[in-house]
A and B are shown apart, each in its own frame.
Chain A
């Protein structure tokens, strides 16, 4: 079994790094890795990439990608997520997806399952356009939503929609290790045909006595509102839920309901929650400036919708890098931490965290936070 460990400070890695220090003299100003990439993109050390080895359509709007990561990958823990870079319309986007395969997988690949969400350009792009043979930049596995190594618990998983993925990975991992405890799993989906990984879930339910799956179709039946999550429903499906460790993943409304329910039952400490954070900030309808925060300088101030953020920073006593003051030299480029800014030349609104902001020609559009 592969254990998720830090890269060992052992002999092999240091010989390689010493060797590459020498070969980097030949490759300067690039690194040896840039030339290895020409031979095989999975051998790079300056960035980590993965090759798409299989695409599988789970439902009409969800797809599972099987990825073979590059040499610098380390194993993940069931339930962790990974950042994936996706080129779409020429641009590079970063999205975080849960790894849906268990760490015990033998071919050194992992899978992510992506559901095309409304207005989600990138998830649509993955579901429609990514093909076998593409290379995607990836990060290392991250996140603290995983099962403890010790074996005491009887888990209850409550998931909805694509929130199934971490639970799927955890349960599969336990099965692969042959130590699945008595497990209940409540999963919500709009309809039967919408269940991501539905076939696998049902197969797991059939072949494992200790795995009890409860699929709830929230838009089916005569009174769909009765299918919503409630303590009463939980009592019916899994009477001993108060004694179990609860792992929940799904949309914010579901997580809120679960948190409230657990708090009322007095067992909040048994609840483990994974939230998917939205990468976009809602664009305020009447963008008339707002609070501006410069994160590195720890400065809070106000900016209106016409004043370039560079001037706002200078008025607040800062001296950020700048050059032409007309948007051509890019000396003032910085990163949007959160919030919205507007390009004063084109009126274009930037609302994606991580966007590059030219402070000399961008103004606040609502609240914003910059990495200055």
Chain B
């Protein structure tokens, strides 16, 4: 069996020293948190809520410009442009909510404020996955076992081969299609991304073992669907019914247009979230690890693994906010509970530290990171592609 060495030339003492220096950065930032950070998150939350509610009313407004009204501006181009604006703004609002607000709140990044309204254990987010379930699969499993084969469920999400270390099987031939499907249905994918469901598909447990879990996820999905595809479209359609006696249009059309607009907004969010998140651990140069490598891992080696397994995306200030600062994936994985607005401040220091210790720091444009992720996906659909790994002895039979 090959050993899969870390691509660094450091002694154990140097790795610990590296860990201590990161710890010092962490403590310095944590001690300096204050009014500025609180003002930031409050501003983002207020902006997001204002945007979410006003974009939905812009979508409603666009309905007054469909040709049936017969006034001068009532043409399809005007109606669809307005609706497009509303949809775009709603998509951005959902992106902000999921990525810069909820993801980070659920990481307990803002718990230090002790604000009862902004706490990781009470926050619920605008997606189909219940927040506490996601916190388990993400905060506990993924952030502790980052990129460790057979431990981290996020390595290929159980359906894709993202590293040659994963054993090839014929099902992976279809993974370019999974890739596109997961991109379009990312919200749904995250909701069913559960160890229990994964185990069930492998025949390791019975359905009734996790029925309560499915009920919880089901309720969350129902409320999400009820909001975007029933409540908002239905309200518009109900108003349209009396109007339709005077203006020749069908309330069903109105219902369909609003539901369609919300679906497109969800799609925008899905594609964006997928793109950013897949750039976190799958571009060329990201490392994966074996259970043997993390056996008896020290804090220093944990830091090293986080750094080797994560990839940053470069971009503007707005880009970082819209990515939920996951563009600073390396910093996020080193300090998962540091408030997100501070990642850009510590990034140059972390990078300098990596350079000093000769540790690769994977940072590039979105084009490069997503491009190599995609090429990787195509290449690894076929056997080979790099150094294989036969699985750890203890769990070899499950892989």
Which A residues fall within an 8 A CB radius of B?
Answer: 25-30, 34-35, 38, 46-47, 85, 87, 89-93, 137, 323-324, 326, 328-331, 333, 345-346, 354-356
Q: Does B38 contact A (CB under 8 A)?
A: yes
A-B contact pairs, 27 of them (CB 8 A): A26-B231, A26-B232, A27-B227, A34-B49, A35-B49, A38-B53, A46-B117, A47-B117, A87-B35, A87-B38, A90-B34, A90-B36, A91-B114, A93-B114, A324-B139, A328-B143, A328-B336, A329-B135, A329-B143, A329-B144, A330-B111, A330-B120, A330-B337, A333-B111, A345-B23, A355-B114, A356-B114
- State A331–B111 Cα separation when bound (angstroms): 12
A25 interface neighbour in B35, B36, B226, Cβ under 8 Å: B226
- Counting chain B CB atoms within 10 Å of each CB, the highest count among A47, A323, A328, A333 belongs to A328
Contact stretch, chosen from B121-129, B249-257, B264-272, B384-392: B121-129
Main secondary structure of the interface of A (DSSP, over half): loop
- State A354–B114 Cα separation when bound (angstroms): 9
Kindly list chain A residues whose C-beta atoms are within 8 Å of the C-beta of B365. none
Tell me the residues in window 29-67 of chain B with beta carbons closer than 8 Å to chain A beta carbons: 30, 33-38, 46, 49-50, 53
- State A46–B49 Cα separation when bound (angstroms): 15
- State A137–B118 Cα separation when bound (angstroms): 13
- State A30–B50 Cα separation when bound (angstroms): 13
Q: Is the CB of B223 within 8 A of A28?
A: yes
Instruction: Say how far A26's CB is from chain B's closest CB, in angstroms.
Output: 5
Q: Is the CB of B144 within 8 A of A38?
A: no
B144 interface neighbour in A326, A345, A356, Cβ under 8 Å: A326
Instruction: Say how far A136's CB is from chain B's closest CB, in angstroms.
Output: 12
Q: Is the CB of A92 within 8 A of B144?
A: no
Q: Of all chain A residues, which has the CB nearest B232?
A: A26
Q: Is the CB of B27 within 8 A of A35?
A: no
Q: Is the CB of B113 within 8 A of A328?
A: no
Instruction: Say how far B242's CB is from chain A's closest CB, in angstroms.
Output: 19
- State A144–B302 Cα separation when bound (angstroms): 54
**A89-B35, A90-B33, A329-B140 known; A35+B53 contact, CB < 8 A:** yes
Q: Which of the four size classes fits the interface of chain B?
A: 35 or more
Q: Of all chain B residues, which has the CB nearest A93?
A: B114
- State A345–B136 Cα separation when bound (angstroms): 23
B226 interface neighbour in A28, A323, A346, Cβ under 8 Å: A28
Beyond the given A26-B231, A345-B27, please list 9 additional residue pairs across the A-B interface where CB-CB is below 8 A: A28-B227, A29-B125, A90-B34, A92-B114, A93-B114, A137-B116, A323-B136, A331-B136, A333-B111
Instruction: Say how far A317's CB is from chain B's closest CB, in angstroms.
Output: 23
Q: Is the CB of A328 within 8 A of B114?
A: no
Q: Of all chain B residues, which has the CB nearest A346?
A: B27
Which B residues fall within an 8 A CB radius of A?
Answer: 23, 27, 30, 33-38, 46, 49-50, 53, 107-108, 111-117, 120-121, 124-126, 135-136, 139-140, 143-144, 223-224, 226-227, 230-232, 235, 299, 302, 336-337
- State A30–B115 Cα separation when bound (angstroms): 16
Instruction: Say how far A35's CB is from chain B's closest CB, in angstroms.
Output: 5
Q: Is the CB of B49 within 8 A of A324?
A: no
- Counting chain B CB atoms within 10 Å of each CB, the highest count among A29, A346, A356 belongs to A29
Q: Of all chain B residues, which has the CB nearest A328?
A: B336
Kindly list chain A residues whose C-beta atoms are within 8 Å of the C-beta of B337. 328, 330
Q: Is the CB of B140 within 8 A of A333?
A: no
B37 interface neighbour in A30, A90, A354, A355, Cβ under 8 Å: A90
Q: Of all chain B residues, which has the CB nearest A88?
A: B35
Kindly list chain B residues whose C-beta atoms are within 8 Å of the C-beta of A91. 38, 112-114
- Counting chain A CB atoms within 10 Å of each CB, the highest count among B116, B117, B226 belongs to B117
Instruction: Say how far A229's CB is from chain B's closest CB, in angstroms.
Output: 38
- State A329–B115 Cα separation when bound (angstroms): 19
Instruction: Say how far A291's CB is from chain B's closest CB, in angstroms.
Output: 26
Kindly list chain B residues whose C-beta atoms are within 8 Å of the C-beta of A326. 144, 299, 302
Q: Is the CB of B38 within 8 A of A29?
A: no
Q: Is the CB of B113 within 8 A of A329?
A: no
- State A89–B37 Cα separation when bound (angstroms): 9
- State A328–B113 Cα separation when bound (angstroms): 17
Q: Is the CB of B231 within 8 A of A25?
A: yes
Q: Is the CB of B38 within 8 A of A331?
A: no
Kindly list chain A residues whose C-beta atoms are within 8 Å of the C-beta of B135. 329, 331
Instruction: Say how far A34's CB is from chain B's closest CB, in angstroms.
Output: 7
Q: Of all chain B residues, which has the CB nearest A325?
A: B144
Instruction: Say how far A97's CB is from chain B's closest CB, in angstroms.
Output: 18
Kindly list chain A residues whose C-beta atoms are within 8 Å of the C-beta of B53. 35, 38
Q: Is the CB of B227 within 8 A of A47?
A: no
- State A333–B23 Cα separation when bound (angstroms): 21
Q: Of all chain B residues, which has the CB nearest A358?
A: B108
- State A38–B36 Cα separation when bound (angstroms): 21
Instruction: Say how far B248's CB is from chain A's closest CB, in angstroms.
Output: 28
Kindly list chain A residues whose C-beta atoms are within 8 Å of the C-beta of B115. 87, 92
- State A355–B119 Cα separation when bound (angstroms): 13
Q: Is the CB of A26 within 8 A of B235?
A: yes
B38 interface neighbour in A35, A38, A90, A356, Cβ under 8 Å: A90
Instruction: Say how far A361's CB is from chain B's closest CB, in angstroms.
Output: 11
Q: Of all chain B residues, which has the CB nearest A129?
A: B35
- State A35–B117 Cα separation when bound (angstroms): 14
**A90-B113, A328-B336, A330-B111 known; A323+B23 contact, CB < 8 A:** no
Q: Of all chain B residues, which has the CB nearest A87?
A: B38
Q: Is the CB of A333 within 8 A of B120?
A: yes
- State A116–B124 Cα separation when bound (angstroms): 38
Kindly list chain B residues whose C-beta atoms are within 8 Å of the C-beta of A355. 114
Q: Of all chain B residues, which has the CB nearest A329?
A: B139
- State A26–B235 Cα separation when bound (angstroms): 10
Instruction: Say how far B51's CB is from chain A's closest CB, in angstroms.
Output: 11
- State A27–B226 Cα separation when bound (angstroms): 11
Q: Of all chain B residues, which has the CB nearest A327?
A: B337
Q: Is the CB of B108 within 8 A of A333?
A: yes
- State A285–B34 Cα separation when bound (angstroms): 28
Closest 7 CB pairs of A and B: A323-B140, A330-B108, A29-B124, A90-B38, A329-B139, A324-B144, A90-B34
- Counting chain A CB atoms within 10 Å of each CB, the highest count among B34, B140, B337 belongs to B140
Q: Of all chain A residues, which has the CB nearest B132?
A: A331
